[in-house]
Amino acid sequence: MDDNRMIHSTGSKIGDWFFVILCVFIAIICLLPMVNLLARSFSGADYLVKHEVYLWPKGFNFEAYKTVLTDMKYIKSFIWTVILTVICTVVSLTMTTLCAYPLIFETLKGRKLINILITITMFFNAGTIPNYLLMQKLGMLDKPIVLIIPGCMSVYNMIIMRSFFYGIPESLQESAEIDGASFIRILWSIYLPLSKPVLATLALFYAVGRWNGYSDALMYMKNKDYYPLQLLLYNILNNINSVEVATQEGFSAPGLSESLKAAIVMFSTVPILCIYPFLQKYFIHGVTLGAVKE
């Protein structure tokens, strides 16, 4: 019996070490492109042209970052993207909560039909041209609101929040109703305080989605003052190889333009990565609880 336990324990340790090594290997693979990008952003033009930069900078310089941090179009776009991300996250969480909360009550009339209609939108979409015509008819084109309202709620995220609400004991709601609390008061005083993990998780989803989004701005926005950072990055990376753009940015060599590309990507990626350490514990906890109904 003891021998079987020892064999089982040894096999379990081997399995644990295998998964640890596998996770470390996957983490290294995921980090390598970022390390290479960072090295390229600090490297000199001659080494980039010769493709000699891999994981460590060569010809160390700050020219690319000086260009990014001193050019007002990058700074303005960065500030606008931060403001837009905060607004979209708050609006999206509000809409998601207000949609998910009523659907947990079995007494809601038409509840099943509403669930079906909402779910259908996950699989069917009118398409790009009808959406553009709709934004045009609503007078939202070239206005900041077009980057906020159309994508203010994800049905998938709403289902996660609704599943989380289902897991909150009904006894808490019933006791609040006995004390005379309204549905809004129950939501504010009971459900939201207990939903911090799922709120943090969905906030992360919405914030990352908005920060990385550029397709809606590409379709609906012509006013360059409201270009989010990712759309500015998209346009620059598409055009920076040309001699005109490289000269305009103050670069005369292809290698320097490559360094600028890397610096811009780092400039737009690092800020959103800084959010993860603060929300990591809520992220794991929220996804797990939101997927299980006890």
- Which tens digits make up the pLDDT trace of 139-159? 888 899 999 998 888 898 999
**Structural domain boundaries in the chain:** 2-41, 64-290
pTM: 0.78
Provide the b/e sequence for 15-51 (b: ≥16 CB within 10 Å): eeeeeeeeeeeeeeeeeeeeeeebbbbbbbbebbeee
Residues 213, 223 contacting (CB under 8 angstroms): no
Cα 236 from chain centroid (whole Å): 22
* Confidence grade of residue 11 (pLDDT, cut at 50, 70, 90): low
Confidence (pLDDT) at 178: 83
Instruction: Give DSSP secondary structure letters for 55-84.
Output: SS-SS---HHHHHHHH-HHHHHHHHHHHHH
Beta strand residue intervals within the chain, DSSP E: none
Cα distance between residue 195 and residue 189, in whole Å: 11
**Cα–Cα distance for residue pair 215/151, rounded to 1 Å:** 12
64-290 is a CATH 1.10.3210.10 domain: no
Spatial separation of the C-alpha atoms in residues 212 and 142, rounded to whole Å: 19
Q: How many Å apart are CA 248 and CA 231, to the nearest integer? A: 19
What DSSP element (H or E) covers 28?
helix 2-41
Q: Which tens digit of pLDDT belongs to each residue from 209-252? A: 898 888 888 899 888 888 888 888 888 777 665 544 444 444 44
